């Protein structure tokens, strides 16, 4: 099958109160936006999808300077920016012809831990794209998708948001409260070979064949770029 230059950017549908300050988790803005720009810059077309067709933006991902730059925040606030036109066309995965896509890229946000491991439509899409010779990629908390398709990462070198970083940002107890597995635990259960970054917050991504994973928000661009490179 000839693969087209079309990428699915996968968003979590979970959007609910999570943080101790009462704010909500959802899609981590920069992890979706940076990948969008990387794909477009390389001449790829993009379709945003989620399990249900709905999504919300993680409120902490919009607070500068730690998790978003002023430039990225300006783009988020500019509703005429190109990315918003694409986000307005977000589809439920059931309404997408997966055979038209060569890259599956899962953006993160702690919300992914709630829905991606059991999002059957997205899990089936990841399996199908991989079976068709495409790439399955995920960044930060996005590798939660592999909780539902562990065979894709078994014996593969993979990475994800670091467990120690959850403690650094004060969310270890929150994950326990919601009875959520960390990404490291999900990948370990799937049989992945975890690759630790030199630092929890630097750009670090890993490609093993047609499986590409990244550690954190800073790794979104390189994860998307390596996903493209894996097809070349």
pLDDT digits over 103-137, tens only? Answer: 999 999 999 999 999 999 999 999 999 999 999 99
3 state SS of 177: helix
Half-sphere exposure of residue 107, counting CA atoms within 13 Å on the CB side? 32
Mean pLDDT of 207-230: 99
Distance, CA of 59 to CA of 62 (rounded, Å): 6
User: What percentage of the chain has pLDDT greater than the value 90?
Assistant: 97
Residue 79 has phi, psi (to 5 degrees) of -70, -5
Q: What integer pLDDT is reported at residue 139 of this predicted model? A: 99
Mean pLDDT of 86-113: 99
Tens-place pLDDT, residues 41-81: 999 999 999 999 999 999 999 999 988 999 999 999 999 99
Mean pLDDT of 149-159: 99
How many helices, marked H, and strands, marked E, lie in the chain?
9, 11
Does the pLDDT of residue 208 top 60, yes or no? yes
Number of residues in the chain: 232
Q: State the architecture of 6-230 in CATH terms.
A: 3-Layer(aba) Sandwich (3.40)
Q: What integer pLDDT is reported at residue 159 of this predicted model? A: 99
Active-site annotation, residues: 140-141, 166
Distance, CA of 18 to CA of 58 (rounded, Å): 10
Selected residue with higher pLDDT from 33 and 65: 33
Q: Domain map of the chain by residue range? A: 6-230
CB 100 within 8 A of CB 8: no
Does the pLDDT of residue 165 top 80, yes or no? yes
The Cα-based distances of 33 to 65, 105, 120 in angstroms read 16, 12, 24
Q: What integer pLDDT is reported at residue 66 of this predicted model? A: 86
CB 53 within 8 A of CB 91: yes
3 state SS of 208: strand
CB 134 within 8 A of CB 152: no
Q: What integer pLDDT is reported at residue 3 of this predicted model? A: 82
> In whole numbers, what is the pLDDT of the chain averaged over residues?
97
Task: Quickly state the pLDDT bin for 87 (edges 50, 70, 90).
Answer: very high
Task: Quickly state the pLDDT bin for 1 (edges 50, 70, 90).
Answer: low
Count the neighbouring beta carbons within 10 Å of the beta carbon of residue 158. 29
Token pair, residue 26, equals 């959802």
Q: What integer pLDDT is reported at residue 2 of this predicted model? A: 62
User: What percentage of the chain has pLDDT greater than the value 70?
Assistant: 99
Distance, CA of 200 to CA of 162 (rounded, Å): 6
């Amino acid at each position: 099958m000839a693969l087209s230059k079309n990428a699915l950017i996968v968003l979590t549908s979970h959007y609910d109160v999570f943080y101790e300050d009462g704010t909500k988790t959802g899609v981590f803005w920069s992890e979706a936006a940076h990948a969008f720009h990387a794909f477009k810059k390389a001449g790829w077309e993009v379709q945003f999808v989620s399990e249900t067709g709905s999504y919300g933006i993680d409120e902490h991902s919009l607070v500068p300077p730690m998790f978003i730059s002023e430039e990225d925040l300006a783009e988020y606030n500019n509703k005429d920016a190109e990315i918003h036109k694409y986000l307005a066309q977000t589809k439920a995965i059931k309404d997408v012809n997966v055979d038209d896509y060569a890259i599956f890229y899962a953006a993160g946000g702690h919300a992914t831990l709630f829905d991606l491991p059991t999002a059957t439509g997205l899990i089936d899409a990841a399996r199908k794209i991989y079976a068709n010779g495409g790439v399955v990629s995920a960044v930060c908390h996005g590798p939660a998708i592999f909780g539902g398709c562990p065979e894709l990462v078994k014996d593969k070198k993979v990475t994800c948001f670091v467990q120690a970083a959850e403690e650094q940002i004060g969310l270890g107890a929150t994950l326990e409260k919601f009875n959520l597995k960390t990404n490291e635990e999900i990948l370990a259960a799937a049989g992945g070979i975890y690759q630790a970054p030199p630092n929890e917050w630097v750009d670090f991504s890993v490609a093993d064949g047609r499986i590409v994973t990244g550690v954190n928000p800073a790794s979104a661009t390189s994860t998307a770029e390596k996903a493209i490179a894996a097809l070349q």
